Structure 1
Amino acid sequence: MDCSEDGGIPLKEDVRVMAGDDGPFKFEDQASLLVGLVVRGTGYLEAVYSSSVRVDRLDATDAVAHLVKGSRQLPQLKAVLLDGLTLAGFNVVDIEALNRATDLPVLTVVDKVPDPEAIRSALEGRFPDWEERYRLISAPETHALDLPGGGTLTCHMVGMDVEEARELLRVTTLRGHLPEALRMAHLVASGLPRLVDVASWTEVR
């Protein structure tokens, strides 16, 4: 992970990241809003990008990569942050493929440790291709990171090691345990569908 001009850690306090999150949806919807926010450090918002991701399909990796690679700040970005491994239901992000497509480290965070058996059961009962989805969800190694301010985050990462992930969380978290960029992305993704009819979209991009 190229954390500074000289590489390695520590990261600069105003490190640029893109945080992605999806908006609310119903399972009968064709698509959900996808937003990507470029944020510096603990909260300086530089840009907001949007697209869509199909509900319960397998286009999330391409959709996120499209936002990242289309951003004007791409040369300055140091990492991609996501709230978990899935968007719009069980549309799984292949973080290894996303890392290759963007040439950026990818870090996902969730509050709770995933339950593999519950995930497998949910997938097996709904999707003919459940084995592929389960493989993508199960492939990344799971890490429980103790945070300086207390608490633990469950993380998956590619393109960085555990200490680099911990440092990235430190310089991007303002309060609590969630990186500010992800908190802002969640707020934007949750609010915009009230203004935009995302459910009627039939195409991504």
Structure 2
Amino acid sequence: MRLKPETRIVGIDDASFDKCDDTVLIIGSIFRGGFWMDGMLSTYVTVDGLDATDKISEMISGCKYQDLRIIMLAGITVGGFNVIDLPELNERTGLPVIAVTERHPNFEKIENALTNVSDVETRREIMKKAGNVYAGPNNVFYQVCGMDAYTAKRVIYKTSTRSYIPEPLRVSHIIASGLSRGEPAKR
């Protein structure tokens, strides 16, 4: 995949939520490369549900931005343990998916946390489908579907223009935190 400086990317992150909330806000910031914000998308998913892949796919497929080229996620879960199925999202949208995290996943902690939600085996299978965890630039980690790991690493590097976090994800985090808390949460 040839990376143009203004490749249109949507970066997706969830807002803060309380344990008593039924749903959580999802924000998608649309960027041209790591420099210009072009638009914003939003939807809601169920806290600890299994609808994230459906809702995010519908949000992207139904938007007016038909020239999106890449989906970036802030990890593979939103709204607690609502796991995003990377291969399914890639297939439904036709776009490569890169899930970026600040820390390497702690699989022992994840297994312990799974005891608090329903449909444990379903969630476990979706997480396995996300594939290998790669070390990215700027001490971030990523999983990828629909594009090779090297190209995904280049995308992360080229879009990390103001921070070690890619700009589409950084801005989605700021917006989502601001809407749910009144101000951005510290990273």
- Whether these two folds match at TM > 0.5 is yes
Distance in 1 between residues matched to 2:30 and 2:58, nearest whole Å: 14
Answer yes or no: is 1:81 the counterpart of 2:68: no
- State the 1:140 CA deviation: 2.0
Taking every aligned residue pair, what percent have the same amino acid on both sides?
Answer: 34
**SS at structure 1 position matched to 2:109:** helix
Unaligned runs of 5+ in 1: 1-7, 196-205
Which of 156, 168, 175 aligns to 1:169? It is: 156
Q: Aligned pairs, how many?
A: 182
Greater mean alpha carbon deviation, residues 180-189 or residues 137-146: 137-146
Contact 1:12 1:171 in 2 (8 A): no
* C-alpha distance 71-138 of structure 1, shift in aligned 2 (>3 A): same
Greater mean alpha carbon deviation, residues 129-138 or residues 105-114: 129-138
Partner of 1:3: none
Distance in 1 between residues matched to 2:61 and 2:27, nearest whole Å: 13
Q: Which protein has the larger Cα radius of gyration, Structure 1 or Structure 2?
A: 1
Distance in 1 between residues matched to 2:22 and 2:33, nearest whole Å: 34
Distance in 1 between residues matched to 2:139 and 2:134, nearest whole Å: 6
* 1:86-111 deviation per Cα after TM superposition (whole angstroms, max 9, x unaligned): 00000000011100110000000001
- State the 1:194 CA deviation: 5.1
* 1:58-81 deviation per Cα after TM superposition (whole angstroms, max 9, x unaligned): 00001111111122112x111100
Distance in 1 between residues matched to 2:159 and 2:79, nearest whole Å: 25
Which of 110, 116, 122 aligns to 1:126? It is: 116
Which of 142, 152, 170 aligns to 1:155? It is: 142
* C-alpha distance 94-146 of structure 1, shift in aligned 2 (>3 A): closer
Distance in 2 between residues matched to 1:27 and 1:20, nearest whole Å: 21
Q: Give the letter for the 1:29 counterpart.
A: D
Distance in 2 between residues matched to 1:192 and 1:67, nearest whole Å: 18
Which aligned runs of 4 or more in structure 1 are off by greater than 4 angstroms? none
Distance in 2 between residues matched to 1:101 and 1:145, nearest whole Å: 27
Which of 170, 173, 186 aligns to 1:183? It is: 170
Which of 32, 39, 52 aligns to 1:47? It is: 39
Give RMSD over aligned pairs: 1.4
Partner of 1:94: 85
Contact 1:142 1:154 in 2 (8 A): no
Q: Which has the higher contact order (CA 8 A, sep 6+)?
A: 1
Answer yes or no: is 1:17 the counterpart of 2:4: no
Answer yes or no: is 1:28 the counterpart of 2:11: no
Distance in 1 between residues matched to 2:30 and 2:10, nearest whole Å: 4
Contact 2:134 2:149 in 1 (8 A): no
Contact 1:24 1:32 in 2 (8 A): yes
